[in-house]
Amino acid sequence: MAHTKETLDSALERVFRENSRQLFISALAVTGCAEGAEDAVQEAFYGLFRMKRSPRHLKAYVFRAVRNAALDQLEQKPRDGIEDSEPIFESGGGPPDAAEKNEFRIKVIRAMKTLSDDERETVVGHLYADLTFRQIAKVREISINTVWSWYRRGMGKLRKELGDEL
What domains lie within the chain, and their CATH numbers?
5-76 (1.10.1740), 95-165 (1.10.10.10)
CA distance 27 to 68: 9
Residues 6 or more apart whose Cβ sits within 8 Å of residue 96: none
CA distance 91 to 163: 23
Q: Break the chain down into helix, strand, coil percent, rounded to 5.
A: 70, 0, 30
Instruction: Give which of 46, 74, 47, 59 is closest to 11, Cα–Cα.
Output: 59
List, for residues 37-77, the tens digit of each pLDDT value.
Answer: 999 999 999 999 998 888 888 888 999 999 999 999 888 87
Q: Side chain identity at 125, as an amino acid letter? A: G
CA distance 68 to 75: 11
CA distance 121 to 127: 10
Has residue 3 got a pLDDT over 60? no
Our CA dihedral for 134, 135, 139, 145, rounded to 10 degrees, sits at -20
What does pTM read for this prediction?
Answer: 0.68
Cβ(61)–Cβ(55) under 8 Å? Answer: yes
What is the predicted pLDDT for the residue at 99? 65
Q: What is the DSSP letter of 51?
A: -
Cβ(26)–Cβ(124) under 8 Å? Answer: yes
Has residue 87 got a pLDDT over 70? no
List, for residues 98-123, the tens digit of each pLDDT value.
Answer: 566 667 777 877 888 889 989 988 99
> Sign of dihedral through CA atoms 98, 101, 106, 107?
positive
